[in-house]
A and B are shown apart, each in its own frame.
Chain A
Amino acid sequence: MKKTIAILLFTLVFQAVIGQSCNTKNVAVLQGSYIPMYNDTSNVEIDVEQFNMDVTAVTNQQYLAFVKANPQWQKSKVKRLFAEASYLSHWQNDTLLGPNVLPDAPVVFVSWFAAKAYSHWCGRALPTVDQWEYAARADHDHPNGNSEAFKNKLLRLYESKHHNHQTAVGKGEENYWGLQDMHGLIWEWNLDFNSVLISGESRKDGSLDRNLFCAGGSLGSVDPVNYAAFLRYAFRGSLKAHYCLKGLGFRTVNQ
C-alpha cells in the first residue's frame, strides 16, 4: 500500500514537471443572464452558461513558463503578424523578467494572439465579452452590483488606477464570485473583442450596432450611468489583435 502511494505520488510529481505550470486558482461563475451595455436588439437579456474563471489575471511568472516552453512566443522570436514590437517590451530578455518586473504582477504588453496561445497551452480559453462582463458586474455581495456606490467606485478605479501593471495580482477585494482585480488593475483581452462593431467606422460597416455612435446613441444603451462599461466597450472597439499595450493583460476560463 505504501508502495502504491509512493508510485502514485511519483507519477503526479513527474507529470507536474513535464506538464506546464499554469494551474491557477479559479472559481465557478454560475449561470445567469445579463443585459449587455450595448445590444443589437435592445434590452434583450443574454444567457450566460456556467463557466470557470481564473481568480486573478495571468502573471509575468506564469507567462514566463509559457514562453520558456514555447520559444516561438519569446519576444525576440515572435512574428510581427502576431504581436507588435512592444510585445513584452518591459521584460529584460526572452526568458528573464529583469529587476523592474514584478513576477506576481499581471503580464501586459501581450497581444490577443499571444493571450489566446497561452490559454490553449493551459487547456483553457480567453473569456468572451459576455462571460467577462457578466462576471465583472458583481460587487462584493451581489452577482449584479448595480448600486450607485459600486458604480462610483468603479468610475474612480477606472479614472485613477488603470494601467497599474506594477502591482501584484490578488490584492483587490474579492467580488461575489471570488474573482479579484476585475476592475482597476488592468484591461483584459476577450476572445471576441472584435465582435462588437464599435469602431469609428462602424457606420460604414454592415453593423447592427450602428446606433452606438450615431447621434443620441448613448440613449440607446442600457445604462447610460455605467460609464465604466462604456469605457470598456470603447476600448475593445479600438483594439487590434497584434496590439501589445502597457495596461492590457488577460485571464482565462475553461474551454
Chain B
Amino acid sequence: MKNSIYIFVVALATIFVSCQSNAHRDQHNLIPEEQVDSFPETSIFNIEHKWLNQFGDTIQLKDLAGQPIVMAMIYTSCNFSCPRIVADMREIESLVPNDQVDDIHFVLISIDPEVDQPDTLKAFMIKNVMDENRWTLLTGTTDQIQDIAAVLGFKYKKSTLMDYAHSNLITEFDKQGNWLHQTEGFDGDKKEIVRILLEAL
C-alpha cells in the first residue's frame, strides 16, 4: 500500500512537471489567450514581449502607446551605417517644432543582445546626447529581436564575430502602433517624415 501511495505521488509529480512545461511553452505565445486589448489588429503593440530599456526597466512596446513613434534597429558597436541611422533620426527630431517634439517618441532596438545590455544602451544614449524622455533604447532576447525584425521587414545576419550585415530602415508608427511610413537607406525625405508624424499627433 505504502508502495502504491509512493507511486501515486510520483505520478502526480510527473503530471505537475508536465503542466509546468506547458505553462513555460505558453510564454512563447505572442498573444496571451486572455488578453483583451484595444489596439487595432495590425498594431505593433500586439507584440507582447518584455524588453529592458536603457535604465534596466522592463517595458512592453504598448507602454509607448499614445505618441507617434520613430523606430530603428541598430547595434551600438556598429561603426558604419548605424551612426547614420541615428543621425537621420536626430535630424527628424530636430525638424519637429520645439513645442511638439516631446509628443513624439524615438525607439532604438538593439539586434546584438550579447553586447547591448542596459548600461551599454545608456552609455550610447549619453554619448549621442539623446533626451531620455524622448528616446527609448531596448534590448531583448534573440527570439524577440526576430519578431520585431520580421514585422519591420528588417533583414540581418551576423557576418563576423562583431559585425552584422543588416538593412537600414527607419519606420514610423502612429499613436496606436499602426504602420505609417518606412524609409530604406539614408536618403529619406526628413521633412516629409516630420509632416507625417505631425499629422499623426
Chains A and B bind each other: yes
Interface residues of A (CB under 8 A from B): 3-4, 7-8, 10-11, 14-15, 18-20, 40, 70-72, 79-82, 112-113, 116-117, 120-121, 123, 191-192, 194-197, 199, 201, 204-209, 240-242
Q: Contact between B29 and A205 (Cβ–Cβ < 8 Å)?
A: no
Binds A, one of B92-100, B125-133, B165-173: B165-173
Q: How far is the CA of A11 from the CA of B155 in the complex (A)?
A: 46
A129 closest partner in B (C-beta): B157
Q: Contact between A3 and B4 (Cβ–Cβ < 8 Å)?
A: yes
**Contacting B15 at CB < 8 Å: which of A18, A40, A195, A204?**
A18
Across-interface contacts of B41 in A (CB, < 8 A): 79-81
A46 to chain B, nearest CB (A): 12
Q: How far is the CA of A7 from the CA of B7 in the complex (A)?
A: 7
Q: Contact between A195 and B156 (Cβ–Cβ < 8 Å)?
A: yes
The size of the chain B interface, using a CB distance under 8 A, is 44
Q: How far is the CA of A20 from the CA of B19 in the complex (A)?
A: 11
Q: Contact between A72 and B33 (Cβ–Cβ < 8 Å)?
A: yes
Is B47 in the interface zone, CB < 8 Å from A?
yes
Q: Contact between B157 and A192 (Cβ–Cβ < 8 Å)?
A: yes
Instruction: Using known A-B contacts A14-B15, A79-B41, A204-B185, determine if residue A197 contacts B155 with beta carbons closer than 8 Å.
Output: yes
Across-interface contacts of B81 in A (CB, < 8 A): 206
Q: Contact between A192 and B146 (Cβ–Cβ < 8 Å)?
A: yes
A186 to chain B, nearest CB (A): 20
A-contact bits for B84-114, CB 8 A (1 contact / 0 none): 0000000000000000000000000000000
Q: How far is the CA of A11 from the CA of B32 in the complex (A)?
A: 28
Q: How far is the CA of A79 from the CA of B35 in the complex (A)?
A: 12
